[in-house]
Amino acid sequence: MTLLEALSAGQPISTMPNSSLLAPWWIAPGGSRVELPLEPAVVHAADFVVEVSASMTLGALNEELAAHGQVIPFDPATSDPGATIGEHLDLSLPQRTDARFGSWRDRLLRATVRMADGRAATSGSLVVKSVAGFDVHKMLVGARGSLAIFERVVLRTSALAAWQAIQLPELPSFTAIAVLRPGENPPSGGTFDAESGQWFGAEANESCPWFHPALVQRPVMSDPVQRMLFVRAKQAMDPHGLLNPGAWGDLG
Amino acid sequence: MRGILAEDQILAGPAAARAYDCDAYTIDRSKPSVIVFPNSTAQVAEIVRWCAANDVPFTPRGAGTGLSGGAMPALGGVVISLKRMTRILEIDIPNRRLRAEAGLANTKITDAVRERGLHFAPDPSSQSVSTLGGNIAENSGGPHTLKYGVTAPHILAATLVDAQGEILELKSGGPGPDFLSVLVGSEGTLGVVTESLVNLTPIPKHVETALGAFATVRDATECVATIMARGVTPAALEMMDRNILGALRAAFGLTYPDDTAALLLIECDGDDAAAVQAEMAEVRAAMETWHSIQIQVAQSDADRAKLWTARKKGVGAMGRLAPSVVTHDGVIPRSKLPEMLDFVYECAARHGVGVANLFHAGDGNLHPIFYFDDRDPGQVSAVVAAGEEIISKCVAMGGSVTGEHGVGVEKASLLKLMFSAEDFALQEMVRPIFAATTMCNPCKVIPDQKGCVEHMRRWRGVAT
């Protein structure tokens, strides 16, 4: 069943990855897995941007971009070439490449999303700099598809040579990703702190760029203001709870 | 207001209303009933609660340097000026963060941390006076946006007084939707930002700056396209045309080679000297490919400041050409710069208005500057018509109606060139998330808002 068919029938849907390495980061939503449209990517090589279906895998996109000497930079610790662009945007996991190349949110210039009522809507622009209208597409990054579903997006690309020159050290596990800045102390060590629900990784050093502690991944939203705004957003954007229901636990 | 604020925090009367009836976009004007100057987040919250309870529109304002009418009190009411909230609240050097009140001028942030080798990267041309809150509202860019990004990625948290007067602390990062990312750039329509935690960026150890002169605008724009297509990302890549140079000559006596039609100011920076020099070598090669008639490279900081003079003083110098200027703002894919600049000159000539260009070429962010006499209604109409035609062309080329000046009242209608009814329906969903009403900086960003259309004719007029 396609996304549009499911929403038109009022059926809850899920866009949680089936098998990619990103799946463990999700709280499994209650809806049915749906098919998303897949159209060819359009590479605007001279402008370093690409239009791509959210259902295209990161690996497939980077194969196309490589022919133009370009890439969507990624950190193998928190990205999976076998996962789709939409799945990466839904999670927005921090990457050690963020400081130099920008985060998923920085990279997203425009998105056409499917709203819960079945309509498609676009936010953002094809160009690298635009302040036209509210940046709804940026707000949706990291929302686990619970407010709208990414269908087609425009991403900023980077020069392949610059990314290949970066050497990222291996991390002990896929989930050990939060690297703290010098001078900042984690509340606990190890790779996962069950009490706080936080993952922690190695300390920063010269070869290993840092992340701000606010970027440490948690399975749930812990900030009360963010939780309050999310509840309002869910009410405004998906009042019937069709989009990835339960992906944020008891928040919807 | 007298129940909330001291007497010297309230300004009213015809002169005050005239001074606050517009920002730096002077085409449209609307007078406020009162201007207030709170000195704390708590006072802002009280003012907003009073406005909400009495259904009075309110408009946040920083330094009033906005270029799209974002701080114009479209429906009158209360202007909330943040200019007395200028304190730096916390400097955290190890974590490269600074917390300040929203009325602090942009450059004051860098002034506070420069000795520690850090700076606040967003650098709008108005940065000596434009405020942190204004930069957040407009998601301001600047010459170094090309490498360092606009304001949004540098904002780590913000204190917001929402449209009901509730105080919220929004933070960036972590799992879940990032509501701060939609607050930044919302032009004060979701509430009043009173404080912010900003990211500080290390000052690069090595900087190379070059100024290239070109005999044709076409050569200069082709050079820009070549540099960007090679994957080089200069820290800044700015362009100034012949009319800007004429104004600079008249205002400051600055001279450039006689047959110069355009200048490119290009800066590369980083901590690795060899890498910076390699980038600049690529830039020079591109300039030579496109027949640059003169290339000056800064040998010292004093040299660098001299090369930047044309860029920094260009807009101010425009006052020598006409009593009024309107600076437009549109974006195109960078590869289409040559075609677009040809169109800008043709369009201005057809409408019989003067135009100069000084802009962020590396981002494809155009700033056609029309110079005219705003006492002449015919010239005002011609400027508006030419501007709208140029912005329409930007959209037709796949670009945007605004790259950094914002939508405000200037471009609310033009936004329909980019977005459909469904797109606006998605954007309208943002306001209820923040409990925002149409009384919070009304008539901005979203077109055809209830109660605004009938006021539009009242805003527009000629200088009196």
Residue matched to tokens 């037709």: B396
Distance from CA of A193 to the nearest CA of B (A): 16
CA dihedral (A194, A200, A202, A204) in degrees, to 10, reads -150
Residues of A in contact with B425 (CB under 8 A): 115, 119, 121
Query: B179 and A226: CB-CB below 8 Å?
Result: yes
CA gap B140, B184 in Å, rounded: 9
Number of A to B CB contacts under 8 A, please give it: 221
Distance from CA of B94 to the nearest CA of A (A): 6
Query: B364 and A129: CB-CB below 8 Å?
Result: yes
When CB atoms are compared, the residue of A115, A134, A223 closest to B171 is: A223
**Short-list B388, B387, B389, B359, CA closest to B371:** B387
Query: B433 and A229: CB-CB below 8 Å?
Result: yes
CA gap B48, B44 in Å, rounded: 6
Mutate to test the interface with A, among B429, B431, B449 (most CBs of A within 10 A): B429
Count other Cβ atoms within 10 Å, centred on residue A23: 15
Residue matched to tokens 């050569």: B219
Query: B427 and A236: CB-CB below 8 Å?
Result: no
Residues of B in contact with A232 (CB under 8 A): 432-435
When CB atoms are compared, the residue of A129, A133, A237 closest to B363 is: A129
Return the half-sphere exposure (C-beta side, CA atoms, 13 A cut-off) of residue B177.
Answer: 31
Q: What's the predicted TM-score (pTM) here? A: 0.92
A48 touches chain B (CB under 8 A): yes
Per-residue pLDDT of chain B (464 residues; tens, 9 = 90+): 999 999 999 999 999 999 999 999 888 899 999 999 999 999 999 999 999 999 999 999 999 999 999 999 999 999 999 999 999 999 988 778 999 999 999 999 999 999 999 999 999 989 999 999 999 999 999 999 999 999 999 999 999 999 999 999 999 877 789 999 999 999 999 999 999 999 999 999 999 999 999 999 999 999 998 998 888 889 999 999 999 999 999 888 888 998 999 999 999 999 899 999 999 999 999 999 999 999 999 999 999 999 998 888 888 899 899 998 888 899 999 889 999 999 999 999 999 999 999 999 999 999 999 999 988 989 989 998 999 999 999 999 999 999 999 999 989 999 999 999 999 999 999 999 999 888 999 999 999 887 787 767 667 654 44
Mutate to test the interface with A, among B178, B199, B405 (most CBs of A within 10 A): B178
Alpha-helix residue ranges (DSSP H) falling in A48-164: 58-66, 85-91, 98-101, 104-107, 136-140, 160-164
Q: What is the ipTM score, two decimals?
A: 0.93
Distance from CA of A122 to the nearest CA of B (A): 5
CA dihedral (B136, B140, B145, B150) in degrees, to 10, reads 30
A67 touches chain B (CB under 8 A): no
